[in-house]
Amino acid sequence: MKNKFILDNSKYIESCNCEDRPNNTVVDSIIIHCISLPENEYDNDNVINLFTNTLDINLHNSFKELKNIRVSSHLFIRRHGDLIQFVPLDKKAWHAGKSKYMNRENFNDFSIGIEMEGSVNDCYTDKQYFTLKNTIDAIKKLFPSIQDSNILGHSDIAPGRKMDPGKYFLWEKIK
Ligand SMILES: [Zn+2]
């Protein structure tokens, strides 16, 4: 049977970096991130490999710190707007890390993580914003508790530790 928590317009690449959410969790937040490996280089599949534990850490010096790291996001939006999904939306992906905002902690438990292919030093593409807006609309249909005020940046929930999606991310494009 079709899994409604895997979005229709995504390419699904299963990641085992996920787990069940705590019992009775209401998913009410979306966290926006950015990632590129190496930073600012987009023409490769290193992020996909990172999220599926197949990244060759010898490819670049900056990958050394990623050794044995187990992370994932539900969704990844590439520069041309392609949507890749790694974790069904009802499961918990490992994108937020230690997190706190408005007296709530452990955002992985009740949020959906979306990675924009990019970096905090770079603008995002119109195609990415188009896919992101459509994706958020589809997610809201599945999880009606998600309000615009609960669509946050990683930098909002991990200030001082994380800067993504960065100052070039245009929030008005998605609200
Ligand atoms: Zn992030």
pLDDT band per the 50, 70, 90 thresholds, residue 175: confident
**Cα(1) to centroid of ligand 1, in Å?**
32
**Cα(124) to centroid of ligand 1, in Å?**
15
Query: 90, exposed or middle or buried, with CB in 10 Å at 0-12, 13-18, 19+?
Result: middle
**Structural domain of residue 119, as residue ranges?**
11-173
In tens, the pLDDT along 49-85 reads: 999 999 999 999 999 999 999 999 999 999 999 999 9
CA 59 – CA 50 distance, rounded (Å): 12
Q: Is residue 153 part of a domain?
A: yes
**Cα(95) to centroid of ligand 1, in Å?**
6
The Cα-based distances of 131 to 3, 13, 76 in angstroms read 20, 18, 10
- Whole-structure pTM value: 0.97
Q: Is residue 143 part of a domain?
A: yes
Give the phi and the psi of residue 11 in degrees, each rounded to 5.
-95, 120
Q: What integer is the mean pLDDT of 110-130?
A: 98
**Cα(2) to centroid of ligand 1, in Å?**
29
Q: Is residue 40 part of a domain?
A: yes
Q: Is residue 5 part of a domain?
A: no
- Which residue numbers are catalytic? 115
Residues contacting residue 74 through CB under 8 Å, at least 6 positions apart = 85, 86, 87, 88, 89, 93, 95, 112, 113, 114
**CATH at 16:** 3.40.80.10
pLDDT band per the 50, 70, 90 thresholds, residue 108: very high
What per-residue confidence (pLDDT) applies to 2? 85
Q: How many domains does the chain have?
A: 1
Q: Is residue 2 part of a domain?
A: no
Q: What integer is the mean pLDDT of 110-115?
A: 98
Q: Is residue 1 part of a domain?
A: no
**Cα(76) to centroid of ligand 1, in Å?**
12
